[in-house]
Structure 1
Amino acid sequence: AEGSRWEGYSDLPCLYLFVCICSSMSRTVKKCFIDLVTGLQPLNSLKSDEAASGPKQGPTFQDGQRRVDYVLTYHVQKPQSVRRKTSRFADYRILRSLRRSLSMMRSGDTPPSKEDPEIAAHKHRLDYHEDDKRFCQTEFEDNLREMGLELEKDEGNKIPGIGFLKIHAPWNVLCREAEFMKLKMPTKKVCDVVERINLFIHKVTAPLHPKVEPNRPQNVKHLSHPFSREKQHLKFDLLKMTFTGITSLLGNGVYTAAYPLHDMLFYPLLSRQILYEEWASYSVFYKYQPIGLIRKYFGEKIGLYFAWLGVYTQMLIPAAIVGVIVFLYGCATVDNDIPSMEICDPRNNITMCPLCDRACSYWKLKTACGTARASHLFDNPATVFFSIFMALWAAMFMEHWKRRQMRLNYIWDLTGFEEEEDHHRAEYEIQVMQKTLKKQDMSPKVVKVFLLLSPLQVGVTFAVVFGVILYRISIRAALHMSSNPTARSNIRATVKGTAAVINLVIIIVMDEVYGAVARWLTLLEVPKTDKSFEERLIIKTFVLKFANAFSPIVYLAFFRGRMVGRPGDYVYVIGSYRMEECAHAGCLMELCIQLCITMLGKQLIQNNLFEIGIPKIKKLIRRRKSDMDSQQQQDYNMTLQRHEKDHFLGPFVGLSPEYMEMIIQFGMVTLFVASFPLAPLFALLNNIIEIRLDAKKFVTEVRRPIAARAKDIGIWYNLLRGLSKVAVIVNAFVISFTSDFIPRLVYQYMYSPDGSMHGFVNHTLSYFNVSDFQTGTAPLQPMHLGYEVQICRYKDYRETPWSNTPYDLSKEFWAILACRLAFVIVFQNVVMLMSDFVDWLIPDIPKDISLQIHKEKILMVELFMKEEEGKKLLRDNHTNQSPFQPRSRPASHTPSNC
């Protein structure tokens, strides 16, 4: 059944070679480590095969028939630097050269000139190291040949200094290994009413689905099925065993890169071309992603990432719609907002105290009309409802993803999948073999370094925020002293906008710094396994980047305007710098501006423009170095083979940067959504572009990743869940302490004479006698308004100057504070209780999947019982049939002496 049983399993060769690499590595890696670390010289050296006679288009060997399933690259010495053959045990050569030199000296002949002894010794050491690498290559490649793989070297390519080892897995080897792997194939086609209903729904929604034809064999024989799903099981299992070996040899420089080959572009029936047309194109942004084809081409791990990103983007649609409705509600009710009407009333003659010392003068409250009206767009009763909605939305999103993940696990045959024990990292083994890594010594050292650097990193973050605060104070004072009337009239907008842009630039720069610091700290720990390394790196990177992105936002939300003091007794920092005050309408508007600029700038500049621009800049630099124009570069690319073209693509660096980008966005969408209801809309628009941008990057700009198997998104789910819980608390404090929602309710139900909001603005303003200014802080132009000011107003709840306790906190302040704390407690518990109820209400596993898994378990038990009954019947009948003897693997799988 060769023509049908393996039909559709075109990538199987690159799967099996992982097994071979693993088996080969188990025999060679330890030996190579000993050679490279301890300095022992192997006796053999590798002889390269003959160079390729001429380039051929397509991923095949020189015969044009055998397909290249995997490629390893290594350095090749240039012809002008041909080194001599050396061996660490060939000491007789040194003795012979000494005897020759002595004889020449005795005979009076002048020995030939020689190079500097230090340079010669350095080259000698390099020769030894090259012998180590070539010995590892020899052993490794011999083991691969013993397992039945076919190898071909290509050192005569158009890339100088780079050699390619092309690997091909023959058909009989694939069949043998597939039998040993016991791949599970479906043997019965089920067609029921549910399938017909699904077919009808698929026809209705056909315009939204990508045009991906199912991969069916043309000539299906009995008990045959295309290997479109189970081959990834082989890939992952073989990868888990192979990864240590590959990374070990890559880490030691034996090979410089290892990657499977991409399919050819512009071939209509190949997976890569289908993905390029139906997934990696901006013109199909409205279509669903072909998750099945993504998983088939890139593996389950990358398939799960794009599935999660698709679910997250879909769930942003209702959140964006509700957020827009909340914003439109604020726009519709701004003209009916009584506090805004009182501030904007032309008859309003309230004189406010100066916003800074000496340079600032008195000002009229009605000049803040625009700020008050803009604040109402985001600070209205609908924002409380939206905060509750977003908390429930986060819970529903997590539940929806768990159900989607469980369905994919079933479809991709991952329900019984368990991760195998991870192998040690190459760096860890090198450290151990060099005897420089000792647990009892290394752990305290790493802890000490981390404890020393943590306060420094936190200090740098707060120093940056404090620097922006000083900028705000300085620029406000400078603008107040300006003689330009235009600059004086737009002080607030100028300070808010420029400070937000400065924060954005600092966040983008410090993101790169913190990423490097997190990686350096993780390398200091020298984790044993790659999984441990990845998790530690993710935690450190997340903490640092999260603090970097949200420090300015947290300051605006919870600290600005809280530690200001009052007129006559202001709080000063660094001499004469007075702490910032909020506008009369509060700091919520500035928080909204900061969130908007940070979110848009970070997504457009750091995420999208960098991902698009950096690869193009690299291509431009490479073209400049090659001294070719575009036409010459295109002609040169046409002469390259597939493995040479893939060599010029960028290496795959993992999914952590992609996940981190989305996790930070999720935090901005959920944590401060009470102050910025348009955040889900901006996130939705960004993700629509992000999906196609990432798709294009994976298909055309990076090497094909090694397909890895995974049943979930790992530690990222825990981070999402933690953020959704923290978001409830943060939004409770934003509503309670940053917005005027609680003061308005307290005034309306406790202090308003008629139960309305009339008089609320006057209720929030305290009185100050200008004669109580500190020395040197009074305005330089007290007659700026055309009259002498005796009493000015400021926003706070304090006693009047003529009371028995002037300027002390009033009873209204304590009443509002108690209500704020009570609201935080009630809001947090009610919303979390509702979220837990949603979590309990929605099952993690879809009902149809649960029933199907249960049926499969029953069928497995019945099959096992029938098999046991058959065996018992055979024993009872005393038949002469010999029991089934499983075939054994070739002798090459047994360990060797290496």
Structure 2
Amino acid sequence: MDAEVLRGLPIINNYLDGTQREAMDSMSGMHFSDSNRKVDYVLVYHYRKRLTQHSPGAGSPGPIHRAASMAIVSNGETKKGGLNLQQDNGQHTPQEAQVIELDPLDTLEEEKRLQREEYECNLVAAGLEIEKDIENKSQGLNFVRIHATWQVLSREAELLKIKMPTKKMYEIKKEEGIIKKLSEIWCKLSEPLQPQVPQEDTRMKSLSYPFSREKMYLYNIRDKDTFFDNATRSRIVHEILKRTSTKTRNSMGISTLIANNVYEAAYPLHDGEYEYQNDDMNERKLLYREWARYGVFYKFQPIDLIRKYFGEKIGLYFAWLGLYTEFLIPSSVIGIIVFLYGCITIESDIPSKEMCDQHNTFTMCPLCDKFCDYWNLSSACSTARASHLFDNPATVFFSIFMALWATMFLEQWKRLQIRLSYFWDLTGLEEEEHPRPEYETKLLQKKLKNKNMNTENTNEDGEDKLTWNDRMPGYAANFGLILFMITLTFSAVFGVIVYRITTSAALSFSTNETTRSNVRVTVTATAVIINLIVILILDEIYGAVAKWLTEIEMPKTEKTFEERLILKAFLLKFVNSYAPIFYVAFFKGRFVGRPGHYVYVFDGYRMEECAPGGCLMELCIQLSIIMLGKQLIQNNLFEIGIPKLKKLFRKMKDERTEPKEMDTNQPKDPQQWDLDYRLEPFTGLTPEYMEMIIQFGFVTLFVASFPLAPLFALLNNIIEVRLDAKKFVTELRRPDTVRAKDIGIWYNILSGIGKLSVIINV
């Protein structure tokens, strides 16, 4: 590692003193204007004012007022380093102003302004300190910066039962004997693969205990400003933002305010820039250098640093993705061996030799009525030989191996998850069952609507709740729409079947000999591409529909909301992705009939049948194109292209809404909160997990037809890990840290796919 990185390493895990940290953070816009209080959270909104001068005789519209560009609100007082709202030494007397008669849009903006004022006052009452820009322009962005004091942090940490390290240390016992020697050998061999990040001492571990203000002596508090790291501070502030309500429109929490466009965004700050070449090192820059670049694809992931920066939930996702990618290595090797075995033994395959023997004249029945003639089986020689590459005795062994592989992967993940849970102090973690703001808002609206009702709709504790009658419309919409979407998927599959049948018949009528001889290849290739396009379109629709259906269900807690959303999205995308493949694998060619008694779909159109060598080759083509197409187009192109288009669109929108005149009071260089606002908002891990789970299904369910599927999945995942890493570090706003002790319902889905793979491969 070069000297520049080495100089930066000691300041990563709270190693630097207060002066160094203040100097570094103030330079990157991490503090209030007094350079003392850290910015823990940022709220953003657009504002617009319509003011005019009262005196019509003025030659030019002079300034309405001149004031400092910042205002600091801290429990109703202006702090010492703050900027007071003062006029410019009396040199510019503010002219009398009057407000133009408000149109409905301006009335709505005024309501939002009042709601923001009430919400911010409630935040101040909760103990938070606020700094915001003065709305001294006609329209534009306004940033509300929030700081949590030690009193607020300690109070909320105790309320949330956040585990913090104590002074008590204990030693972790190491392996002895041959295991220790093997471990040392592995460490030396894998040293070039290790990321150059500060490593925690694995021999000693601090005893963690839920924070308590009454037992402050237990904790190793050297500096109150650095005792809670940035991720924990932002998590605490976010909890306060979620439960702070406003009486205007009965809004509960920041999520409801953002949904009502009162605020446009809310996010914690990144730890500075990630690509400036200077001696100051921060965790974001270190993650970028050692993890979020394609040039370090061969290195292990710094899971502990990922967890420290992004939180346990995201840390567990990348740990799971890393283990899954590692497990694909042996399955890829076995798949390549199976494919090579097919290549080596293709000349000794008796069925294909008999089909390709020109001396054997096996006359076959016509493939279509009226226009098709009898044909010789030897004309299907190339298809039979190609089928042997994937359909050979080694494929049976590979199917058994992949069934065992899936089980071993799940068991190994349980071991790793328990290990991470121990080192990350997640053992005994209590799930937070706080009601969602949307649920509380709906409940509040119900209370106001039924003020005079008796307590028949209360539970034993006397707490109001949404009853079955309140949820019935949502459940009915869920059942009806999910059934409709599944029917739509089957209809799309049937439509492609009709396309194949009709196109085959049409091409068979052609007078061109080349066209007639390549009917099967042409129809198969075009049908698979149509299937892929339909799958990609329906996937995007199903994701949006699943989210909307879950929202109208009104789940009480975030955990329930997430589980229901995942189940709906997975059910719809599972059917959408695998329905065409299931048809080819189990149904195509089973309902053809026999000569003289064929099965017809429409008058004159016979049901399609498999190629002479069987349907496995067609299944291989179908699986490979759909799998590779989803990975290249949906997982990579969409993940790279769509965020860049959204960023460009938002930049153009801000340039239109921002005033043209230059504000001399604003700093020339953009502050960190402004840089982070230009990034994409974090929308959750569900899309990331979903694409990997669907890929896991391709690798395990139908691997008998395509032994190279693990290899292509491995190559994709090597890119996917760094693509996701780069997206989290450079393209997305910093997510709120969420503690989680496991990957949740995703493990149950993986386990179900593993059991289903045994049946399907058999």
1:397 maps to which residue? 409
Instruction: State the shift of 1:158 in Å.
Output: 10
Choose the corresponding residue for 1:76, options 34, 43, 47.
47
Structure 1 pair 173–719 and aligned structure 2 pair: CA distance change class (3 A): closer
Q: Following the alignment from structure 1 to structure 2, what is the Cα–Cα distance between the partners of residues 473 and 528?
A: 49
Structure 1 pair 487–225 and aligned structure 2 pair: CA distance change class (3 A): farther
Structure 1 pair 665–12 and aligned structure 2 pair: CA distance change class (3 A): farther
Structure 1 pair 124–517 and aligned structure 2 pair: CA distance change class (3 A): closer
The answer to whether residue 160 in structure 2 is matched with residue 184 in structure 1 is no
Structure 1 pair 458–82 and aligned structure 2 pair: CA distance change class (3 A): farther
Q: Following the alignment from structure 1 to structure 2, what is the Cα–Cα distance between the partners of residues 627 and 73?
A: 16
1:8 maps to which residue? 13
The answer to whether residue 679 in structure 2 is matched with residue 649 in structure 1 is yes
Structure 1 pair 179–542 and aligned structure 2 pair: CA distance change class (3 A): closer
The answer to whether residue 125 in structure 2 is matched with residue 143 in structure 1 is yes
1:74 maps to a residue whose letter is: Y
Choose the corresponding residue for 2:282, options 270, 273, 279.
270
Q: Following the alignment from structure 2 to structure 1, what is the Cα–Cα distance between the partners of residues 168 and 335?
A: 50
2:539 maps to which residue? 511
Structure that is richer in helix per residue: 1
CA contact (8 A) 1:564 1:578 kept: yes
CA contact (8 A) 2:12 2:281 kept: no
2:35 maps to which residue? 64
CA contact (8 A) 2:269 2:676 kept: yes
The percent identity for this pair of structures is: 54
1:379 maps to which residue? 391
1:135 maps to a residue whose letter is: E
CA contact (8 A) 2:231 2:309 kept: no
CA contact (8 A) 1:9 1:231 kept: no
Instruction: State the shift of 1:422 in Å.
Output: 2.5
Choose the corresponding residue for 2:742, options 703, 709, 712.
712
Say which is worse superposed, 458-467 or 542-551, in terms of deviation. 458-467
2:215 maps to which residue? none
* Matched residue SS, 2:395: helix
Choose the corresponding residue for 1:166, options 121, 126, 145.
145
Q: Following the alignment from structure 2 to structure 1, what is the Cα–Cα distance between the partners of residues 348 and 668?
A: 68
CA contact (8 A) 1:230 1:413 kept: no
Choose the corresponding residue for 1:560, options 572, 588, 595.
588
* Matched residue SS, 1:161: strand
2:211 maps to which residue? none
Instruction: State the shift of 1:82 in Å.
Output: 11
Structure 1 pair 583–204 and aligned structure 2 pair: CA distance change class (3 A): closer
Task: Encode CA deviations 1:396-445: one digit per residue, 9 max, x unaligned.
Answer: 00000000000000110111212132323325523541449962433333
Instruction: State the shift of 1:627 in Å.
Output: 7.8
The answer to whether residue 760 in structure 2 is matched with residue 703 in structure 1 is no
1:329 maps to which residue? 341
Structure 1 pair 537–568 and aligned structure 2 pair: CA distance change class (3 A): same
Instruction: State the shift of 1:528 in Å.
Output: 1.8
CA contact (8 A) 1:564 1:570 kept: yes
The answer to whether residue 594 in structure 2 is matched with residue 582 in structure 1 is no
The correspondence of residues 315-394 of structure 1 with structure 2, limited to 5 A, is 315-394=327-406
1:553 maps to a residue whose letter is: I
Q: Following the alignment from structure 1 to structure 2, what is the Cα–Cα distance between the partners of residues 153 and 254?
A: 15
Structure 1 pair 238–401 and aligned structure 2 pair: CA distance change class (3 A): farther
Choose the corresponding residue for 1:152, options 108, 131, 148.
131
Say which is worse superposed, 466-475 or 718-727, in terms of deviation. 466-475
CA contact (8 A) 1:69 1:167 kept: yes
With normalisation by structure 2, the TM-score equals 0.77
* Matched residue SS, 2:164: coil
Instruction: State the shift of 1:152 in Å.
Output: 1.1
1:369 maps to a residue whose letter is: C
1:596 maps to which residue? 624
Choose the corresponding residue for 2:269, options 261, 267, 283.
261
Structure 1 pair 11–716 and aligned structure 2 pair: CA distance change class (3 A): farther
Task: Encode CA deviations 1:333-356: one digit per residue, 9 max, x unaligned.
Answer: 111010110000010211111111
1:132 maps to a residue whose letter is: Q
Structure that is richer in strand per residue: 2
Q: Following the alignment from structure 1 to structure 2, what is the Cα–Cα distance between the partners of residues 671 and 298?
A: 33
2:72 maps to which residue? none
Structure 1 pair 214–385 and aligned structure 2 pair: CA distance change class (3 A): closer
Q: Following the alignment from structure 1 to structure 2, what is the Cα–Cα distance between the partners of residues 510 and 215?
A: 46
The correspondence of residues 488-527 of structure 1 with structure 2, limited to 5 A, is 488-527=516-555
Q: Following the alignment from structure 2 to structure 1, what is the Cα–Cα distance between the partners of residues 411 and 27?
A: 51
Instruction: State the shift of 1:201 in Å.
Output: 4.2
Q: Following the alignment from structure 1 to structure 2, what is the Cα–Cα distance between the partners of residues 487 and 696?
A: 47
The answer to whether residue 310 in structure 2 is matched with residue 298 in structure 1 is yes
Instruction: State the shift of 1:66 in Å.
Output: 3.2
Task: Encode CA deviations 1:208-241: one digit per residue, 9 max, x unaligned.
Answer: 011112479xxx9x99589899986777677567
1:441 maps to which residue? 469
Task: Encode CA deviations 1:522-544: one digit per residue, 9 max, x unaligned.
Answer: 22212222221111111111000
Instruction: State the shift of 1:162 in Å.
Output: 2.2
Structure 1 pair 79–68 and aligned structure 2 pair: CA distance change class (3 A): farther
Q: 5+ residue gaps in structure 2?
A: 1-10, 19-25, 55-98, 207-217, 244-252, 451-464, 661-665
Q: Following the alignment from structure 2 to structure 1, what is the Cα–Cα distance between the partners of residues 736 and 523?
A: 50
Task: Encode CA deviations 1:535-583: one digit per residue, 9 max, x unaligned.
Answer: 1111111000110001100100111000111121111113322110111
1:688 maps to which residue? 718
2:254 maps to which residue? 246
CA contact (8 A) 1:428 1:527 kept: no
* Matched residue SS, 1:75: strand
The correspondence of residues 589-738 of structure 1 with structure 2, limited to 5 A, is 589-621=617-649, 639-732=669-762
CA contact (8 A) 2:471 2:554 kept: no
* Matched residue SS, 1:59: coil
For this pair of structures, how many residues does the alignment match?
Answer: 640
The answer to whether residue 453 in structure 2 is matched with residue 472 in structure 1 is no
* Matched residue SS, 1:704: coil
1:754 maps to which residue? none
Instruction: State the shift of 1:70 in Å.
Output: 1.5
2:594 maps to a residue whose letter is: R
CA contact (8 A) 1:251 1:427 kept: no
CA contact (8 A) 2:231 2:736 kept: no
Instruction: State the shift of 1:374 in Å.
Output: 0.8
Q: Following the alignment from structure 1 to structure 2, what is the Cα–Cα distance between the partners of residues 369 and 516?
A: 47
1:753 maps to which residue? none
Structure 1 pair 497–307 and aligned structure 2 pair: CA distance change class (3 A): same
Structure 1 pair 446–60 and aligned structure 2 pair: CA distance change class (3 A): closer
RMSD, aligned α-carbons: 3.6
Q: Following the alignment from structure 1 to structure 2, what is the Cα–Cα distance between the partners of residues 622 and 424?
A: 29
With normalisation by structure 1, the TM-score equals 0.66
1:595 maps to a residue whose letter is: L
Instruction: State the shift of 1:294 in Å.
Output: 0.3
CA contact (8 A) 2:40 2:230 kept: no
1:617 maps to a residue whose letter is: L
1:131 maps to which residue? 114
Q: Following the alignment from structure 1 to structure 2, what is the Cα–Cα distance between the partners of residues 458 and 576?
A: 29
CA contact (8 A) 1:251 1:426 kept: no
Q: Following the alignment from structure 2 to structure 1, what is the Cα–Cα distance between the partners of residues 344 and 668?
A: 61
Q: Following the alignment from structure 1 to structure 2, what is the Cα–Cα distance between the partners of residues 509 and 308?
A: 28
Q: Following the alignment from structure 1 to structure 2, what is the Cα–Cα distance between the partners of residues 709 and 533?
A: 16
Structure 1 pair 121–225 and aligned structure 2 pair: CA distance change class (3 A): closer
Instruction: State the shift of 1:173 in Å.
Output: 6.5
CA contact (8 A) 1:233 1:709 kept: no
Q: Following the alignment from structure 1 to structure 2, what is the Cα–Cα distance between the partners of residues 539 and 182?
A: 31
The answer to whether residue 193 in structure 2 is matched with residue 208 in structure 1 is yes
Structure 1 pair 723–427 and aligned structure 2 pair: CA distance change class (3 A): same
